[in-house]
Amino acid sequence: MNSPAVKWYGINALEFRHSKGSFMIDPYVSRDNQLLHIPGEVDKYIVDPPDFVLMTHAHWDHLPDMPYILSKFNTVLYASKTACNIMRAMGVAESRLYELTYGEKLLLPGNVKVTALESRHMGIVGEPEGYAGVPENFDPTVKDNWRCGETFAFLIEVDGKRLLNIGTANMYEPVIHGMECDYLLCGISRWKEGFPELLSRNIVYDTLIPTHHDEFTLKLDDFYLREDMERLKKVIPGIKYKEMPILQWMTLG
């Protein structure tokens, strides 16, 4: 059996290839906290149509490229109520959206099994709640309009591997406790006190692949890693991890 492969576009933007197709998670490559979306950056990096797209949450550094991606490719976005309501406000057709619920189990194109797990984002003081309905007069150029909303992690079973993606340096312990996977692709952006313990006592994994630890306000041409992983190594000695090379395929053997 072939092993799946992953390509990292910074932040939690991931592309997966497997024996029967491909899919993406959080494909945001514009990486601009002022313009938010730059079509030319998407055209430069996202060139192959994914069979489907999974979205962990609706913040500005995860979702804003999605309307353009959906206009380019015949694919479907699997995302939260908030993320789907933002897409509806931007004119995305209902046929291109699938609104996830916590705990839902899906069999997706290419025989990819996905469980949509309830998760958590690192708390942001004063952040408004997500969108329970379609927001009126939604302005996609305003960063704060991209509210986090409901947060998902994804357990993915493909080509005999169990992959767990958590897009932020937090998790929902009642759901995640005791979970096992081959690869844990986990956001560690500016992790705070308590996160290492949360990670160590809840998930059994063969290899941690850190994500979202790059300086994501800079273009991919200016990519560099912050010190989030170096800090984590100091408090979890011997942690089993592997860095993904940026914009290169890495086999998950």
Q: What is the rounded CA–CA span in Å between residue 243 and residue 209?
A: 6
Please write the tens of the pLDDT for every residue from 27-55. 999 999 999 999 999 999 999 999 999 99
249-251 and 97-99: which strand pairing? unpaired
Share of the chain above pLDDT 90, in %: 97
Mean pLDDT score across all residues of the chain: 97
For residue 170, what are the CA distances in angstroms to 118, 122, 191, 192?
11, 6, 8, 9
Upper half-sphere CA count for residue 149 (Cβ side, 13 Å): 30
The structure tokens listed for 28 are 């945001």
CATH T-level fold of 5-122+133-251: Metallo-beta-lactamase; Chain A (3.60.15)
Q: What is the rounded CA–CA span in Å between residue 46 and residue 58?
A: 19
| 21: alpha, beta or left? (left if phi > 0; alpha if psi -120 to 50) | left
Domain ranges of the chain: 5-122+133-251
Upper half-sphere CA count for residue 27 (Cβ side, 13 Å): 33
| Whether pTM exceeds 0.95 | yes
What is the structure's pLDDT at 124? 74
The owner of tokens 């479907």 is 76
pLDDT-derived band at 1 (thresholds 50, 70, 90) equals low
